[in-house]
Amino acid sequence: MRVTERRHGLARIQVAATLRRMREQAGVPRDAAARELYCTVSKIGDIETGRSGIKPAELEKLLDLYRVTGEDRELLIETARTSRSRRRRDPAGPSIPTSSRRYLDLETQARSLVFFSSELLPGFLQSDGYARALLEWSGQLTPAEIDWRLALRAERRKALARTEPPPPACWCILGEAALRAGVGGPTVMAEQLEYLLEWSRTMRHLMIQILPLGSGVHQLMGLTHTLLRFEPPARDVLHVDTHPRNVFFDNESDVAEAAHALELIKAQAIGREDSLAVIRRVLSEYKEMSGYGALE
């Protein structure tokens, strides 16, 4: 029952975030959506933040208004059905692109996010060279699939750099090993660290902390966690990046436990200025190895 409740709550947030994106992409104001459903503008706001559910007939009307067809329409209707159903469903998602889009919707709808990884940089802070090296490593993706994933990362960066509506506050805690992973070789890593420093200068809502090598044991060793916080009463969501799939949790006890672990890691990590100094030092090492020209 507990697993089923998690899936219901997450599906409701997914529907809310996706409906808002679809309305905005269609250029439809909230009052027009309200007229379509013969309801108040505040109800549309409640639907788009997960405060209120949406009936099947209402969802169909909005999708018609937003001119949504094909797979995107079918999958959103199925997700909405999951959020209402008490019946256990097949956890294997449909197509990867659409599920990735759903995560993007959650990420951009969040009011804040906290990311931790001991070895990887978050997707929205990855340079194209670093991301391409990661995606090409397995040899299992076609060039078209790699290009699609690079475009998705670019979209995530664009969403998190927006000014209206205000972007989510981003707190990234990175293990020093993530700076020294050598993804793509010294030149790619030098470009990536320059990119990271540039984002830290331009994104006022971005905090980067480094957890130095030798910091000792902590609860999230070997894991990649993202805690996405939403405006109440929508539940916060924990995203755990594992192979071969991503796992989502929105049960309060699981989220609270992860939030506590992340707070402890923040305390172990060094401060912002010292963290940027570590990034610059590792960057200079990569430059020496590769002959990469400084972007001063």
pLDDT at site 1? 33
pLDDT at site 102? 64
pLDDT at site 233? 62
Confidence band, pLDDT 50/70/90 cuts, at residue 90: very low
Confidence band, pLDDT 50/70/90 cuts, at residue 89: very low
User: Across the strands, what pairs with 175?
Assistant: 211
pLDDT at site 87? 37
Q: Is the pTM of this model over 0.85?
A: no
Mean pLDDT of the chain: 85
Domain positions in the chain: 2-84, 96-290
Per-residue HEC secondary structure of the chain comes to CHHHHHHHHHHHHHHHHHHHHHHHHHCCCHHHHHHHHCCCHHHHHHHHCCCCCCCHHHHHHHHHHCCCCHHHHHHHHHHHHHHHCCCCCCCCCCCHHHHHHHHHHHHHHCCEEEEEECCCCCHHHCCHHHHHHHHHHCCCCCHHHHHHHHHHHHHHHHHHCCCCCCCCEEEEEEEHHHHCCCCCCHHHHHHHHHHHHHHHHHCCCEEEEEECCCCCCCCCCCCEEEEEECCCCCCCEEEEECCCCEEEECCHHHHHHHHHHHHHHHHHCCCHHHHHHHHHHHHHHHHHHHCCCCCC
pLDDT at position 262 over 50 = yes
pLDDT at site 16? 86
* Digit-coded pLDDT (tens) for 22-81: 998 899 999 999 999 999 999 998 888 777 888 999 999 999 999 999 888 888 888 888
Looking at domain 96-290, its CATH superfamily turns out to be Endonuclease Chain A (3.30.870.10)
Span 205-229, mean pLDDT? Answer: 93
pLDDT at site 236? 87
* Digit-coded pLDDT (tens) for 212-223: 999 999 989 888
Which of these ranges, 81-85, 111-115, 167-171, 266-270, has the smallest mean pLDDT? 81-85
pLDDT at site 244? 63
Closest by CA position to 161, among listed 138, 58, 86, 153: 153
Span 240-269, mean pLDDT? Answer: 87
Class of domain 2-84: mainly alpha
* Digit-coded pLDDT (tens) for 110-161: 889 999 999 999 999 999 999 999 999 988 889 988 998 898 888 888 888 8
pLDDT at site 175? 97
